[in-house]
Amino acid sequence: MADQSKKWQDNAPGKFFVDDQCIDCDACRTEAPDNFTRNDDHGYSFVYKQPASKEEEEKCQAALEACPVEAIGKSG
């Protein structure tokens, strides 16, 4: 389960986040490419844009569920 106290500082403020368990597998970027991106310097994903529509919210939820190491969390 993702831990808010260990989330990457790169994450955009809001309900979805990625923490330091990320293994850079590309699952979240595949499921929700409009919301997740990669930190190329350090090799992990983060939320660069919080969902702005129901469709994006559903894709972010799918990314959370697809994460093999449970590095994506949702607050609230």
Looking up residue 26, the CATH number of its domain turns out to be 3.30.70.20
Pairwise CA distance, residues 35 & 50, whole Å: 6
How many structural domains compose the chain? 1
This prediction has a pTM of 0.95
pLDDT tens for each residue of 5-40: 999 999 999 999 999 999 999 999 999 999 999 999
Say what the pLDDT of residue 10 is.
97
Please, is 65 exposed, middle or buried when counting C-beta atoms within 10 Å of its C-beta (0-12, 13-18, 19+)?
exposed
By residue range, what is the domain housing residue 52?
4-74
